[in-house]
């Protein structure tokens, strides 16, 4: 092989190596990197406004944020009851719905209770809010419906002296299975400690379709159940079951509650899980 031919061969080999290197750096992501992308936290609350969210407050139409109940101030998603709109609570239970349903995910919120309960709020709703999961579309709710048919992860604050768990379970129009048996009580307590005052609390929920739901706080599971489902004894829930062709709840909306006590959400984020 002469020198000129060898030089051409070397140049071609060099170009091939550069092309392979470029494809490795700039080409398609490896499968592991693509899978890692699925494990990232998605910010449902952008810290600026309520884009992506829809309010439904009892006695008011879907989309009407009566009294500016849900608002964003100082980078926080706040639930407030101005006296001009709420001289009395008048059972105006409200919910702020994220506009996209989810099925398999991990939800994480940072919340706190502040100030005093609005006049006329029920006693049980003091320092009380909630995360409504596997919920119905707010457009399906009647104008006077108090709570969406859903699984509620109840957020509760202590009164400064008595024990009161948080991340309890309530079931408006629904049931779950615990220890292999259909569980019919409306509410059940978790095993969490009590969180008094206006401290920030980080709560997480792992939701795996209709198979499993876990309530997690401080890295510890404090309540667990399976097979969330619509309750045939409830007329509205029975209608929803007929519409979807069965009782099991595999997916649904996520909403934040307004139950008469001011509260703040510093962050609301979600991680999609593999099915």
Query: Is 23 inside a domain boundary?
Result: no
Which one, of 272, 268, 273, lies nearest residue 70 by Cα? 268
CA quadruple 48, 53, 55, 56: dihedral, nearest 10: -170
What CATH code is carried by the domain that includes residue 63?
A: 2.60.120.560
Examine residue 40 and state whether it is found in any structural domain, yes or no.
no
Range of the domain at 226: 54-272
Does the residue 24 lie in any domain? no
Question: Is 34 among the domain residues?
Answer: no
In a domain, 73, yes or no: yes
* pLDDT in the model for residue 195: 98
DSSP category for residue 252:
B
pLDDT score for 39: 75
Query: What is the predicted pLDDT for the residue at 12?
Result: 47
Tokens of 122: 């029920």
- Residue 135 tokens read as 């919920």
The reply to whether 27 falls in a domain is: no
Q: Is residue 163 part of a domain?
A: yes
Which residues fall within 8 angstroms of residue 152, CB to CB, at 6 or more apart? 130, 131, 132, 133, 169, 170, 171, 172, 257
Beta bridge partners of 187: 170
Q: Are 138 and 93 in contact (CB under 8 A)?
A: no
Structurally, the chain folds into a number of domains equal to 1
pLDDT at residue number 122: 97
With a cut of 50, list the residues of the chain below it in pLDDT: 1-37
Q: Can you give the pLDDT at residue 38?
A: 55
- Between the CA of residue 126 and those of 7, 94, 116, 129, what are the distances in Å? 83, 15, 8, 9
Note whether residue 64 is domain-resident. Answer: yes
């Amino acid at each position: 092989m002469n020198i000129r031919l060898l030089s051409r061969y070397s140049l071609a080999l060099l170009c091939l190596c550069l092309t392979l290197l470029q494809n490795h750096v700039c080409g398609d992501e490896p499968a592991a990197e693509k899978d890692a992308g699925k494990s990232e936290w998605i910010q449902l609350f952008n810290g600026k406004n309520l884009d992506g969210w829809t309010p439904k407050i009892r006695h008011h139409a879907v989309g009407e944020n009566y009294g500016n109940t849900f608002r964003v101030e100082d980078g926080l998603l706040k639930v407030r009851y101005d006296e001009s709109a709420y001289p009395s609570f008048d059972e105006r239970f409200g919910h702020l719905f994220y506009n996209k349903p989810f099925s398999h995910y991990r939800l994480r919120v940072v919340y706190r209770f502040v100030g005093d309960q609005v006049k006329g709020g029920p006693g049980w709703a003091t320092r009380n809010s909630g995360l409504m999961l596997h919920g119905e579309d707010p457009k399906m709710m009647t104008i006077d419906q108090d709570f969406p048919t859903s699984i509620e992860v109840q957020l509760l604050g202590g009164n400064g002296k008595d024990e009161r768990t948080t991340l309890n379970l309530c079931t408006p129009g629904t049931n779950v299975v615990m220890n292999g048996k259909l569980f019919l009580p409306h509410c059940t307590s978790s095993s969490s400690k009590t969180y008094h005052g206006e401290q920030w609390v980080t709560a997480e929920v792992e939701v795996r379709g209709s198979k499993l739901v876990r309530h997690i706080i401080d890295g510890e599971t404090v309540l667990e159940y399976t097979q969330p489902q619509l309750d045939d004894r409830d007329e509205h829930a029975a209608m929803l079951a007929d519409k979807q062709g069965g009782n099991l709840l595999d997916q649904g909306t996520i909403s934040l509650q307004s139950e008469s006590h001011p509260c703040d959400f510093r962050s609301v984020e979600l991680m999609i899980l593999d099915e």
